[in-house]
Amino acid sequence: MRAVIMHGPGDVRVEEVPTPEIIEPTDAIIKVDTTCVCGSDLWPYRGVSKLSRPTQMGHEYIGTVEQVGADVQGIKVGDYVVGSFMASDGTCEICAAGYQSRCAHVVGMGSVGTQAEYARIPWADGTLVKVEGDVTPSRRRGLLAASDVLGTGWFAAVAAEAGPGKTVAVVGDGAVGLLGILAASRLGAERIIAMSRHASRQALAQRFGATDIVEERGDAGIARIKEMTGGYGAHSTIEAVGTQEAMQQSIRSTRSGGHVGFVGVSHGVTIDGSALFGATVHLHGGPAPVRRFLPELIDLIMTDQIDPGAVFDLTLPFDEAGEGYRAMDERRAIKTMLEF
Amino acid sequence: MRAVIMHGPGDVRVEEVPTPEIIEPTDAIIKVDTTCVCGSDLWPYRGVSKLSRPTQMGHEYIGTVEQVGADVQGIKVGDYVVGSFMASDGTCEICAAGYQSRCAHVVGMGSVGTQAEYARIPWADGTLVKVEGDVTPSRRRGLLAASDVLGTGWFAAVAAEAGPGKTVAVVGDGAVGLLGILAASRLGAERIIAMSRHASRQALAQRFGATDIVEERGDAGIARIKEMTGGYGAHSTIEAVGTQEAMQQSIRSTRSGGHVGFVGVSHGVTIDGSALFGATVHLHGGPAPVRRFLPELIDLIMTDQIDPGAVFDLTLPFDEAGEGYRAMDERRAIKTMLEF
């Protein structure tokens, strides 16, 4: 089958690799319907994180079940399914508490590589959710977004305790930040401040529910948020970048007693204990337990209540994956969908 | 009047200073009934934090109102009162949200210095809570504890979301950690693990509700907590020290999705963003908004439902404050009360 292989920074190729097979009796094999490139795939693409060998990429997917292991009970061949970027057993105490991304037996789908024609899904019963109904093109894009970026933005908004009466600041205008805005809006936030200086992303932010745009960054951005909130800072801040600057900006933009939900994969971030003590905010984040939210998100998508698939502003044939990475790296595209 | 002045590390003296007067119309002057030495007073005593000049010490107090400013309405001369270590206006949005220690107009009582015969209390209406009823000796000790260490331990337990069905680990066996145990117990925690290797503190921990004692520290302590919790870690961890080791131990002892409440004043703590991302815990802490809890705590003390004053294992005449500091520094005493 064809798969996307990263050979090194900036070097992404579509190559022939062996088609995956059932390994564990809890596995399923899906024929990938569509997949996409994630902002986090850009860390190795840019050489910020290192790959020790050529690596099959991708962790987002929707598809049709081709084969199931002997112990799989809830998922059947032919089911159209969405899963999270983290496979989870669905039965441990961590899963039961809604933190499936930190399941005691978690398998990162990045280690599987779903930018491929077929993918092996560990813990199929705990990981996959069956979709029923008519999958229109926009719902299909939405379901693919649910696999990671929508679920991650949703978790960030929940972690930031976005809700009625709250002012929510969003640091990061990539797909996750934009979908964090959508989530905050659905969760009833009163005011949503998108921090962005890119016109096309600002427009999408507003379409998803942003009430205000702040173009300033760093100290100026923090000052602007304070000014807009009676000097107090936002009640809730979503950090969707993963850099030191974004984390600092998020913590310092939040009022004492407020909540920072951080989902940007941390790169070189260190948090000063004294500053955090002084800030007296709530800080919660990590790899989003997307599986917790999938049933609700699928329902919202399949009833056309949300259109998260709008983050895909570039769709390419699978064989042009390299251009999909380049366009995101150069910020010509927010997010690239790859079709077979 | 007499006051405790720290001249430098290890150098604490009782000296004559001017009696405070009303400065702002929102001030009150109290005659201090009793005061005490805080674990945080040991940071400058040990030279870990620096004093630029001789400093009047103390931020914990109970006493009787002697005088009120023109704008004070809720507090009257003669009232027997408890206040927090942070004076707060009680009216700003941060106070309204229960984060009085980060009030928009906060005044740290450490800048006032309550190890003294009299103290000026800024924002008397927002800060002080009147106590009614018969103040027995044990209730008096309890009320003094409420001024900081009880309120701080309580906040830590609330921040850690201690409650029914939860296993709570407590890092730090000083007064705050011990009272965090008491709080976790009152909040209904199922299992409370005190991390302590001092027999007298272990005994008090058990009296306050600890169900288990762990003597190991660092990696061994974390391994022991994991072993006791099915490999998952505690649901809730209270960090009541403020060092790098304690913070790391707290984060790493907590299961994903769990809560760390940190109240140890941070000294040299840095948190690695990647490790925190991976841990996927909730982290919340800072100077405790003791004022939020005071009415409830006073009620529990005055109805003898809790006996937090048991943390005072050394009571000295005010003039012997120096020995009170020494005893705590050498860990001969958990907490020293100073009586006039």
- Give the pLDDT of chain B (340 residues) as one tens digit per residue: 999 999 999 999 999 999 999 999 999 999 999 999 999 999 999 999 899 999 999 999 999 999 999 999 999 999 999 999 999 999 999 999 999 999 999 999 999 999 999 999 999 999 999 999 999 999 999 999 999 999 999 999 999 999 999 999 999 999 999 999 999 999 999 999 999 999 999 999 999 999 999 999 999 999 999 999 999 999 999 999 999 999 999 999 999 999 999 999 999 999 999 999 999 999 999 999 999 999 999 999 999 999 999 999 999 999 999 999 999 999 999 999 999 9
Report the distance separating Cα B42 and Cα B53, nearest Å: 16
- Among residues B101, B94, B123, B161, the alpha carbon closest in space to that of B288 is found at B101
Q: Do residues A281 and A254 make contact, with C-beta atoms less than 8 angstroms apart?
A: yes
Q: CA-nearest residue of chain A to B282?
A: A284
Residue A330 has a pLDDT of 95
**Within an 8 Å CB–CB cutoff, is residue A99 touching chain B?**
yes
B279 to A270: CB separation less than 8 angstroms, yes or no: no
Of the partner residues B265, B277, B280, the one whose CB lies closest to the CB of residue A265: B277
Report the distance separating Cα A80 and Cα A128, nearest Å: 9
**Within an 8 Å CB–CB cutoff, is residue B285 touching chain A?**
yes
B283 to A277: CB separation less than 8 angstroms, yes or no: no
Q: Which DSSP symbol is given to A280? A: T
Q: Which two tokens stand for residue A149?
A: 């970026």
Q: Which two tokens stand for residue A84?
A: 């999270």
* Residue among B50, B102, B259, B291 with most chain A CBs within 10 A, to mutate: B102
**Within an 8 Å CB–CB cutoff, is residue A72 touching chain B?**
no
- Report ipTM (2 d.p.): 0.96
Residue linked to tokens 């290890």: B10
Sequence-separated (6 or more) residues with CB below 8 Å from residue B246: B171, B172, B239, B240, B264
Q: Is the dihedral of CA B162, B167, B172, B173 positive or negative?
A: positive
Q: Do residues A20 and A121 make contact, with C-beta atoms less than 8 angstroms apart?
A: no
Report the distance separating Cα B19 and Cα B113, nearest Å: 12
CB atoms < 10 A from the CB of B67, how many? 17
Q: Which two tokens stand for residue B193?
A: 């693990």
Q: How many residue contacts between A and B have a Cβ separation below 8 Å?
A: 123
**Please, which pLDDT band fits residue A111 given cuts at 50, 70 and 90?**
very high
**Please, which pLDDT band fits residue A210 given cuts at 50, 70 and 90?**
very high
Establish how many alpha carbons lie within 13 A of residue B16's alpha carbon, considering only the half-sphere containing its beta carbon: 0
Per-residue pLDDT averaged across A232-246, rounded?
97
Q: How many residues does chain B have?
A: 340
Q: CA-nearest residue of chain B to A159?
A: B282
Q: Nearest C-alpha of chain B: how many angstroms from A229?
A: 11
CB atoms < 10 A from the CB of A231, how many? 11
Phi, psi of B329 (to 5 degrees): -60, -40
Establish how many alpha carbons lie within 13 A of residue B313's alpha carbon, considering only the half-sphere containing its beta carbon: 15
Phi, psi of B27 (to 5 degrees): -80, 160
For chain B, the first-to-last Cα distance in angstroms comes to 11
Residue B206 has a pLDDT of 98
Q: Do residues A79 and A44 make contact, with C-beta atoms less than 8 angstroms apart?
A: no
Residue B286 with chain A: CB contacts under 8 Å: 256, 276-280
Sequence-separated (6 or more) residues with CB below 8 Å from residue B203: none
Q: Which DSSP symbol is given to B24? A: S
Alpha helices in chain A (DSSP H): 42-45, 93-96, 124-127, 137-146, 149-159, 175-186, 199-208, 218-228, 244-253, 273-279, 290-302, 321-329
B273 to A232: CB separation less than 8 angstroms, yes or no: no
Residue B268 with chain A: CB contacts under 8 Å: 273
CA-CA distances (angstroms) from residue B276 to A286, B226, B254, B271?
Answer: 7, 18, 11, 7
Report the distance separating Cα B203 and Cα B215, nearest Å: 13
**Within an 8 Å CB–CB cutoff, is residue A71 touching chain B?**
no
Put simply, whether the predicted model's pTM sits higher than 0.90 gets the answer yes
For chain A, the first-to-last Cα distance in angstroms comes to 11
